[in-house]
Amino acid sequence: MPDVPKTRDFLGSLPKAELHLHLEGTILPATVCSLTARHGVGVTEDDVRRRYNYTDFLGFLDAFKWVTSFLRDPADYALIAHDLCEQLLAQRVKYAEVTLSVGVMLLRNQKPEANFAAILRAAEEFESRDLILRWIFDAVRQFGPDAAMRVVESANNCASPKIVAFGIGGDELSIATKDFVPVYEAASAAGLHRLIHAGEIGGPEKIREAVELLHIERVGHGIAAVHEPALMDLLAYRRIPLEICPISNVRTGALARQSRRNGVALSDHPLPQLFRHGIPIVLSTDDPAMFHTNLTAEYAAAQQMGLSDSELGQLAQASFTHAFDFKDKTFS
């Protein structure tokens, strides 16, 4: 693979895939204002930006809860799906696996099937523009196993080949991993790949539990793996990718928590160490609107961490290689 010149222009033009991206975290301040106006609430873009500024993980969860409170009907989801597609095309993203917070939809007594149908309709026009989207139905860990099982049932009800995986996000410290074993067995029986957020704010044991108890195929974040060399060996040997979101890790305080000190910067991120240990890494944005980032900026961040030209190229390739439904597995 040719070297990647160290210019942001090239990073912007590089064909990309993204595998850890929450639809609800892509809502730009102007779009938030459109949503709130539709529901009779007066909010300015400055109000949104203040909401999108936080210093720790709980602050991020509060902001996420607030913005998703304005997603109330299928038309709202169609709006943000359309905006997401435009954002991805502008970054030359060719393929994305987008996470939907179906657990939140169910908590709010919405019909995920109707919301998902609207999302598919909004995204359909972009297929002819060289953008492939697949979807991940996501449960919220602190809501418990029964609520998570309802997310699997919703995926079954939608019966769409474009739903490729089941995952769990939220507070990874809240409920024991073993309690979700039956949920993941049901997801696998439904033909869904297995994902989970682990080792973002939790320790390496959360990643090991996910791998050994839930048979996870990719780990969301997983930066705590750096604390346990044997776990890094396991991830490298089994070729289990980590979905690394560096700017998210800085802005939620996850990196500070894992580093056990304040004042951390991108230069403190373990991405280079994890990558050079042989663990597959797929670079992602997580919640780009809420973290003031995009995928091009994440590649630039990896560059700032000292990754070489060829290593940046390997990162770009890895996100295609480890996608669940990208047929070619190469990019050009």
**Distance from C-alpha of 10 to C-alpha of 314, rounded to nearest angstrom:** 15
At how many degrees (to 10) do helices 74-90 and 112-124 cross?
40
The three-class DSSP label of residue 283 is strand
Are 258 and 225 in contact, with CB atoms under 8 Å apart?
no
Given the structure tokens 């739903």, which residue do they identify?
163
| DSSP code for 169 | E
**Distance from C-alpha of 65 to C-alpha of 258, rounded to nearest angstrom:** 24
Strand partners for 97:
134
| DSSP code for 227 | G
Q: Which of 37, 120, 28, 29 has its CA nearest to residue 77? A: 120
Are 298 and 247 in contact, with CB atoms under 8 Å apart?
yes
200 is catalytic: yes
**Distance from C-alpha of 204 to C-alpha of 186, rounded to nearest angstrom:** 25
Which member of 200, 209, 298, 311 is catalytic?
A: 200
| DSSP code for 277 | T
> Hey, which residues are catalytic here?
200
